Amino acid sequence: MGPGRQEFGLDVESLANKRSSGCFPTVPELQATMTPEQWQRIQNAQGGVTRFGDTSYWFRLRSGITIGTVHFTVYSLIHRDQGQAIRPILRTFGTD
């Protein structure tokens, strides 16, 4: 990572532990990685309304599947609308 950048996902175990009890990084933790000018510039770019929060309608599901001796992974991008209906938007397959 270059100067002035924070990567929250380099330590996968730590990230999983921190996310087990809620969203991580929190908005204050994210804001703390920026100068006040950077934070203000992001808010101004969005019409003065911050787009950061701890709720989401978008989720990624990773499913490991084994059939006989063959193992593959299915990744699904899932959207939950405001009426709470859930639908897959995109699915991809991998071997990891």
Pairing verdict, β 58-67 and 86-94 = unpaired
Contact present, 73 and 93 (Cβ < 8 Å): yes
10-14: list long-range contacts, CB under 8 Å, 24+ apart: none
Mean pLDDT by 10 residues, the chain (96 residues): 66 83 82 85 70 77 91 92 88 83
From residue 5, how far is each of 8, 16, 54, 94, 95 by CA, in Å? 10, 20, 21, 30, 31
For the chain, the structural domain boundaries read 8-55, 56-96
CA distance 77 to 8: 21
Tell me which residue of 15, 23, 30 sits closest to 58, measured CA to CA.
23
The pLDDT value given to residue 69: 93
